[in-house]
A and B are shown apart, each in its own frame.
Chain A
């Protein structure tokens, strides 16, 4: 059973370009969470999605950031017009039925974005 798959593992963008990060949850998992890890800091919650729905986006910056989890295909975290401060590791996690039921998230290995 494959784990959470994220790609690309490393992404380099110049300021003003767009970054797209993809996450395929574990088989059977319909809940996806995105976190951002800045250097020397912990993980900051960004967004929680179920298939075709955004459940909680309280951690998403108001501009330039968006996320989706379509009925078919991976979840996508999109960052438009990237700036140097967006450089970070972005982690995706999944769960089969939400934290309150299972109490566990399964994490991917992360996508490391570098903005030049």
Chain B
């Protein structure tokens, strides 16, 4: 079945560092790809999405490109802030969304 694999955390960076969180997927069709973020004590919220190959999703300085040839959807941000500390989930879906295990990100001031 469809699945998502993302890098394990926790990832700890200093403020203003460059961020990459790797995500690869396995799917029989061509699902949409997502990154969701979960702040402490809250539910998940959509960060960005891409619906077809070569699409780039972007939001709040984060971006990810749908790469069909490498089945990847890596999340990047050029300069992280302390407020970016959260758990990030890569996901794919058509009728239902399947999530990766999540990557906890700590940003140090």
The finding on whether chains A and B are genuine partners in a shared complex, rather than unrelated, reads yes
How many of A's residues come within 8 Å of B, CB to CB? Answer: 24
Which of A42, A45, A109 meets B96, CB within 8 Å? A45
What is the CA–CA distance of A33 and B95 in the complex, to the nearest angstrom?
10
Q: What is the distance, in angstroms, from A4's C-beta to the closest C-beta of chain B? A: 7
How many of B's residues come within 8 Å of A, CB to CB? Answer: 21
B83 interfacial by beta-carbon distance below 8 Å = no
Complex contact A105–B46 (CB within 8 A): yes
**A residues less than 8 Å from B41 (CB atoms):** 109
Complex contact B49–A103 (CB within 8 A): yes
Complex contact A42–B94 (CB within 8 A): no
Complex contact B95–A55 (CB within 8 A): yes
**B residues less than 8 Å from A93 (CB atoms):** 43-44
What is the CA–CA distance of A103 and B49 in the complex, to the nearest angstrom?
8
Which of A41, A99, A108, A110 meets B97, CB within 8 Å? A99
Complex contact A98–B95 (CB within 8 A): yes
Most buried by A among B95, B96, B99: B96
Which of A56, A103, A109 meets B43, CB within 8 Å? A109
Complex contact B43–A99 (CB within 8 A): no
The answer to whether A110 and B96 touch (CB under 8 A), given A41-B101, A103-B34, A103-B51, is no
* 3 interchain residue pairs of minimum CB distance: A107-B43, A42-B101, A43-B99
Q: List 15 A-B contacts (CB under 8 A).
A: A4-B43, A43-B89, A44-B99, A91-B43, A91-B44, A93-B44, A99-B32, A99-B95, A99-B96, A103-B32, A104-B34, A105-B46, A105-B97, A106-B45, A109-B41
